[in-house]
Homo-oligomer: A and B are copies of this chain.
């Protein structure tokens, strides 16, 4: 039982689609599948922009966003408040971009005012030396913080820079209305809110992003999005696609359309609220205290008096439930419970019950049933 922030649980219908015999990717049958997938992905991303599917991980997909719109020496702002923000800063270095960091401590949200002030100060810079893009992570998987993307995007638009957004753990779990928020480039990956195994990347490109593409000088071939755009218009791909993963994606998107966008987001909000209520009832300190900046995809917990790794090992051994550990500086200090994608109320109750039992077993004093009761209360309220 996977309760980690990716790969997430995968429904039977998707697993079964994955095992269909491949068909030729240049056939009319496959083009028909791609056409449906493109339509459904646009619905999920709430966009009329180009939406392209890559055979790459989330990192490869973010790289595509960066190298298709920028040139060596371009100034960019990288917003970092966790491991993934740091990764995008490293990537900018690798491509010879001049990255200016706007940071918040791990576990805190980015302060939109800092970005606004930074960009306003840049407004007087001559056009050819201005900040070209702001790279930011919507939901920080390493800490369970969600940034205020809507406000951040407004400040970016006021300045005129491009927004390049890592929405890997937010897309499919919460609102990422690409067009309404005016997001230029949004990258995500299949093993998160899409209820799929990893292997596919998704990226949207606004008309402004395509304008930047015209003059972007970073070299590219496999990740040259212009090639994907031209072929997507014909419901095909420039290079051999991961055919079986596309079969799975088609099945997953069909399920998502049946559930409905609002229902999907409401479910994630319920799972988050129930998980957090349970942790509080069990006296397990939440790594992110403020509900308003807590991710709907993942909850990080910093247990006291019992080791995070000990707890994880116990849950794995006795209940076959996988929780994620902390990364980098947080290694051994937190555990992370993923509740995104194909996760139900029942799964949360199961995980909390196992957590309670493990805490008891490890000598941590808990009021029996306290976590379960708190979570169930949330479900009762939201379902009534």
Question: Cβ of A234 < 8 Å from any Cβ of B?
Answer: no
Q: How distant is the Cα of A240 from the Cα of B200 in the complex, in angstroms?
A: 11
Interface positions, chain A 186-217, Cβ under 8 Å from B, are: 189, 191, 197-199
Selected from B197, B221, B240, the residue in CB contact (under 8 A) with A90 is: B221
Q: B198–A243 contact, CB under 8 A?
A: yes
Question: Cβ of A219 < 8 Å from any Cβ of B?
Answer: yes
Smallest CB gap from A8: residue in B: B22
Residues of B within 8 A of A57 (CB): 55, 222, 239-242
Residues of B within 8 A of A219 (CB): 72, 94-96, 218-219
Tell me the minimal C-beta distance from A66 to chain B in angstroms. 9
Q: A197–B22 contact, CB under 8 A?
A: yes
Q: B94–A224 contact, CB under 8 A?
A: yes
Once A24-B2, A198-B242, A245-B242 are accepted as A-B contacts, the answer to whether A221 and B19 lie under 8 Å apart by CB is no
Tell me the minimal C-beta distance from A336 to chain B in angstroms. 12
Residues of B within 8 A of A9 (CB): 21
Q: A56–B18 contact, CB under 8 A?
A: no
Residue from A24, A242, A324 having most chain B Cβ neighbours under 10 A: A242
Q: B21–A15 contact, CB under 8 A?
A: yes
Q: A22–B191 contact, CB under 8 A?
A: yes
Once A199-B55, A199-B245, A244-B197 are accepted as A-B contacts, the answer to whether A220 and B21 lie under 8 Å apart by CB is no
Selected from B2, B6, B10, B222, the residue in CB contact (under 8 A) with A60 is: B222
Smallest CB gap from A64: residue in B: B222
Question: Cβ of A91 < 8 Å from any Cβ of B?
Answer: yes
Residues of B within 8 A of A218 (CB): 219
Q: B24–A222 contact, CB under 8 A?
A: no
Smallest CB gap from A217: residue in B: B96
Interface positions, chain A 79-94, Cβ under 8 Å from B, are: 90-91, 94
Q: A56–B56 contact, CB under 8 A?
A: yes
Once A24-B2, A199-B199 are accepted as A-B contacts, the answer to whether A55 and B55 lie under 8 Å apart by CB is yes
Residues of B within 8 A of A63 (CB): 221-222
Once A55-B55, A222-B57 are accepted as A-B contacts, the answer to whether A199 and B95 lie under 8 Å apart by CB is no
Interface positions, chain A 146-189, Cβ under 8 Å from B, are: 189
Residues of B within 8 A of A4 (CB): 24
Question: Cβ of A58 < 8 Å from any Cβ of B?
Answer: yes
Q: B15–A16 contact, CB under 8 A?
A: no
Q: How distant is the Cα of A166 from the Cα of B20 in the complex, in angstroms?
A: 28
Residues of B within 8 A of A224 (CB): 94
Residue from A19, A23, A218 having most chain B Cβ neighbours under 10 A: A19
Q: How distant is the Cα of A79 from the Cα of B379 in the complex, in angstroms?
A: 65
Question: Cβ of A27 < 8 Å from any Cβ of B?
Answer: yes
Q: How distant is the Cα of A218 from the Cα of B20 in the complex, in angstroms?
A: 39
Residues of B within 8 A of A324 (CB): 24
Once A15-B19, A60-B239 are accepted as A-B contacts, the answer to whether A25 and B198 lie under 8 Å apart by CB is yes
Tell me the minimal C-beta distance from A221 to chain B in angstroms. 4
Selected from B91, B95, B199, the residue in CB contact (under 8 A) with A242 is: B199
CB pairs A–B below 8 angstroms (17 shown):
A2-B24, A7-B23, A7-B25, A10-B22, A15-B19, A23-B322, A56-B60, A58-B240, A91-B221, A94-B221, A94-B224, A197-B242, A198-B241, A199-B199, A218-B219, A219-B219, A245-B245
> Which positions in A face B, CB cutoff 8 Å?
2, 4, 6-7, 9-10, 15-16, 18-25, 27, 55-60, 63, 72, 90-91, 94-96, 189, 191, 197-199, 218-224, 239-245, 322, 324
